[in-house]
Amino acid sequence: MVSRPAPPYKNLLPSKAAVSTIRSLWIRLIKLVKNRFEYFLIPFSIILFIAGWKLIIRTQGFPEYILPEPEAVWDQLVVVIENGYIFEHVTYTLTEALYGFLASLLFATSLGYILGKSRALEKAASPYIVAAKSIPILGIAPLIIIWFGQGITPKAIIAFLIIFFPMLVNTIVGIRSVNEDQRELMRSYSASKWQVFIRLELPAAMPLLLAGIKIGLARSMMGAIVGEYLGGQQGLGFLVNLGSGLSETPLIFASIFTIIIITLILYGSAAILEGALLKGRRRDAV
Amino acid sequence: MNKQTMSKPIIEIQDISKEFGSGPNKVEALTNVDLKVDSGEFISLIGPSGCGKSTLLRVIGDLISPTTGSAQVKEKSVAQARTDRDYGIVFQAPVLFEWRNVRRNIELPLQVMGVPKSEWTERVDAQLELVGLQDFDSHYPWQLSGGMQQRVAIARALVFRPSILLMDEPFGALDEMTREYMNLELLNIYTRTDVTIIFVTHSIPEAVFLSTRVAVMSKRPGTISHVVPIELPHPRSFDTRETSQYFELVTEVREALREH
């Protein structure tokens, strides 16, 4: 047997110490992935989504006017962001959505509080509530456009109508979640109505109120966009409409992704607010 | 005669009746109930389910009003006594506010009653010490066991120094061992304060072990049928439960209950 010379790459092989360092780093990484699994899923799922998208185009051979490449959508996004075009429309839609949301917050929570406190009033109001709830919003949206014109107001009203009922119901259920023992306890302290409200009813209803706010914020965007679809010259809904009129699918996709991102930001801010206000409460109770 | 009976009774119930509902659904919860309680007494109300013992407790605490009869506390109406914040109440469930930690739960009555904020820390600390929860003041209710939650409820009921503590089966939901331990804790609290306690229970041993008198209630009519004085010496301990005097009293209460 001929003794072979040491391979030239011998020095390039990692030392034992390095191997153990790499191993411990690897174990740490695995632990991190295991403990924070949900966060690692997000980028992973985005990559998977884009890959699937490209795969469909490759295998089916769709032309751009049917389904654009992700890159085309990205380029379109970069263009509308660079010339500031998108921000105008985002601001417009956000304004409509937030007006609708604030109006709903004001009316749905105050009406919800009254109906939550009085079963008699709730019984009296419930036929109207159910009737109003059964009206398809797409059916009356054109009417609202006819009545209130093309500006911000009709879209804010549509957003308001879409989120009013979920927020109302959440408020009612929230106020009802105060149990009789808790009321008796406050009664034994001779607490005033205001004290019962501020110390008991409001914090007890808070989880459901916040859930309503979270849903409301996200859906108010949807309401505003539905309104823009039906009339007007501004907003993200208008952009989608414009893209479809011009067969500019990248513009449609760019608008849709913007809508998704804005909605996620709204939902996320509400979730952060929720986390802060419900600090210390048991998670599964929320 | 001990010193308590020389002054006017702290609670005076005369000929109380209470009906719920009307017509065919009418339920007579209490009928002709009389009870006098002296300051510093520990009275247990015991009886079968539906005998109206919780109703009687709620009448004393002005959480419901009687149909007929008069209830007075410290020579004033029960409504006035409630306004004057004479009652601390402990329910069967701890009824803690789940969004407040232990300290903030105990602070609740002080906050509602407008006690100056500067006094809160000291008062709450004293109560935490009394119920042995010094190290748990920043815990939230869901992080505590059932027994600990009930101790928070007791601390919250005592923090504004009420003269009467109304307890509605406070240990009914606890396991037997925790319950016996809590009995001892409650006696300890009772002897360290000058509070008068009205205690609703359906446990004979518990009633005998804790009370200075046991009021036995009957069903239909819901009324106090016997009052058994408990002359077991204080301080009472686990050993008290093994004395023959204790067993005799348990038997006496049991027989009083059986007569109906």
Q: State the nearest Cα–Cα gap between B152 and chain A, in angstroms.
A: 14
Of the CA atoms within 13 Å of residue A94, those in its CB half-sphere come to 15
pLDDT in tens, chain B (260 residues): 344 445 688 999 888 888 888 878 888 888 888 999 999 999 999 988 888 888 999 999 998 889 888 888 988 999 999 888 898 999 989 999 999 999 999 999 999 999 999 999 999 999 998 888 999 999 999 999 988 999 999 999 989 989 999 999 998 888 888 888 889 989 988 988 889 999 999 899 999 999 999 999 988 788 888 899 998 888 888 888 889 999 999 999 999 888 75
> Between A188, A195, A280, which is nearest B87 by CB?
A188
Name beta bridge partners: B89: B166
Structural domain count, chain B: 1
CA distance A78 to A12: 44
Q: Which residues of A touch B111 (CB under 8 A)?
A: 199
- In A199-228, the residues whose Cβ lies within 8 Å of chain B are 199-200, 203-204, 206
Flag whether residue B114 sits within 8 Å of chain A, measured between CB atoms.
no
Evaluate whether B42 touches B35 at the Cβ level (below 8 Å): no
Give the count of beta carbons closer than 10 Å to the beta carbon of residue A50: 14
Flag whether residue A275 sits within 8 Å of chain B, measured between CB atoms.
no
Please judge whether A188 and B63 are an interchain contact, meaning their C-beta atoms are less than 8 angstroms apart: yes
Give the count of beta carbons closer than 10 Å to the beta carbon of residue A83: 9
Per-domain residue ranges for chain A? 70-285
Evaluate whether B163 touches B10 at the Cβ level (below 8 Å): yes
How much is the ipTM here?
A: 0.85
> Between B61, B91, B113, which is nearest A181 by CB?
B91
φ, ψ dihedrals at B77, nearest 5°: -65, 155
**Residue range of the domain that includes B113:** 97-161
Is residue B131 one of the residues assigned to a domain?
Answer: yes
Please judge whether A285 and B89 are an interchain contact, meaning their C-beta atoms are less than 8 angstroms apart: no
- Calculate Rg over the CA atoms of chain B: 18
CA distance A196 to A201: 6
Q: Can you give the pLDDT at residue A280?
A: 78
10 Å CB burial of residue B66 (0-12, 13-18, 19+) is buried
pLDDT in tens, chain A (286 residues): 556 666 666 666 667 788 888 888 888 888 887 777 777 788 888 899 999 999 999 898 888 888 999 999 999 999 989 988 889 999 999 999 999 999 999 999 999 999 988 889 988 988 888 888 888 888 888 889 889 988 899 999 999 999 999 899 999 999 998 988 899 999 989 899 999 999 999 999 999 999 999 999 989 999 999 899 888 889 999 999 999 899 899 999 999 999 999 999 999 999 999 988 888 787 654 3
Is residue B106 one of the residues assigned to a domain?
Answer: yes
Flag whether residue A180 sits within 8 Å of chain B, measured between CB atoms.
no
Q: State the nearest Cα–Cα gap between B87 and chain A, in angstroms.
A: 7
Flag whether residue B200 sits within 8 Å of chain A, measured between CB atoms.
no
Nearest CA in chain A to B166: A188
Structure tokens that stand for B221 in this block = 């009519």
Is residue B249 one of the residues assigned to a domain?
Answer: no
Q: State the nearest Cα–Cα gap between A187 and chain B, in angstroms.
A: 7
Q: Which residues of B touch A206 (CB under 8 A)?
A: 99
Nearest CA in chain B to A279: B99
- Calculate Rg over the CA atoms of chain A: 27
Is residue B74 one of the residues assigned to a domain?
Answer: no
CA distance B197 to B172: 17
Geometric angle at alpha carbon B46, from B44 and B50, rounded to 5°: 135
Is residue B237 one of the residues assigned to a domain?
Answer: no
CA distance A114 to A197: 12
Nearest CA in chain B to A191: B112
Q: Which residues of A touch B108 (CB under 8 A)?
A: 189, 199
The string of pLDDT tens digits covering residues A24-71 is 888 888 888 777 777 778 888 889 999 999 999 989 888 888 899 999
CA distance B259 to B254: 9
Is residue B187 one of the residues assigned to a domain?
Answer: no
Task: Give every strand in the sheet of B68-73, ordered side by side.
Answer: B27-37, B11-20, B68-73, B76-77
Q: Which of A177, A183, A185 is the best mutation test for B, with the most CBs of B within 10 A?
A: A185
CA distances from residue B143 to B106, B139, B146, B147, B152 in whole angstroms, order as listed:
16, 6, 10, 12, 12
The closest of B208, B195, B129, B133 to B166, measured between CA atoms, is B195
CA distance A285 to B15: 45
Please judge whether B95 and A282 are an interchain contact, meaning their C-beta atoms are less than 8 angstroms apart: no
Is residue B127 one of the residues assigned to a domain?
Answer: yes
Q: Which residues of B touch A195 (CB under 8 A)?
A: 112
Q: Say which CATH class A70-285 falls into.
A: mainly alpha
